[in-house]
Homo-oligomer: A and B are copies of this chain.
């Protein structure tokens, strides 16, 4: 029964991992049961605890797999800036990446988004791992870009501008119904909506800020 048509043994472990990926993304850690995972994987309830030590360990496996290659596409965005034009281009690329992550429903990215969303309002023990390992490094790229426009801004004032501008994209992490109604645009294709949002965010930023120096102090 656990054989495919061509006779190869199917990976029950893989099926369970895939089902867990979907369910943890949909409902979060706490509201997902191992029975449910097993049912969706077409496996037995005991198989989950056989292949993975526990529900906890399974969540960790899903977690690590999801965030393994996260942030890679950004490359050396900070180092690419030389003047106003390249600064603006870097901003566009950064918000494109973030908005794509939050709004496009690529399965892998959807998992990252949902896990982050769940961990934001109901942190588990793995929350630190997302925050320090993934969120902070990516967000620090934007911090560095903003510093280039405000090299001498005092810490508190800089932090206020950084936090509020960051919110222009992070607000899209949470878009389950009915909250999507207020921040999405059903009339547009999702890719076009991402481009529109990115253009508006960057337009808002360049209306107030402009490139001054690429020699920026650290945080």
Contacts and interface: CB of A to CB of B under 8 A. Distances in A.
Contact of A131 (B160, B172, B178): B178
A1 interface: no
A57 interface: no
Give the number of copies in the complex. Answer: 2
A12 B139 CA distance: 48
Contacts of A204: 161, 164-165, 204, 208
Contacts of A168: 164-165, 167-168
A3 interface: no
A164 to B, nearest CB: 4
Interface in A130-189: 131-132, 135-136, 139, 155-157, 159-161, 163-172, 174, 176-179, 181-185, 187-188
Interface in A186-219: 187-188, 193, 196-197, 199-201, 203-204, 207-208
27 contacts: A30-B30, A117-B120, A117-B121, A120-B176, A120-B179, A123-B176, A123-B177, A123-B178, A127-B178, A128-B178, A131-B179, A135-B182, A155-B187, A157-B196, A160-B196, A160-B199, A163-B182, A163-B184, A164-B171, A164-B197, A164-B201, A167-B169, A171-B171, A174-B174, A207-B207, A207-B208, A208-B208
6 shortest A-B CB distances, which residue pairs? A167-B171, A207-B208, A164-B168, A163-B183, A167-B167, A160-B200
Given A164-B200, A207-B207, 14 more contacts: A30-B30, A121-B121, A131-B179, A156-B185, A156-B188, A156-B196, A160-B193, A160-B199, A164-B201, A164-B204, A165-B168, A167-B168, A167-B183, A204-B204
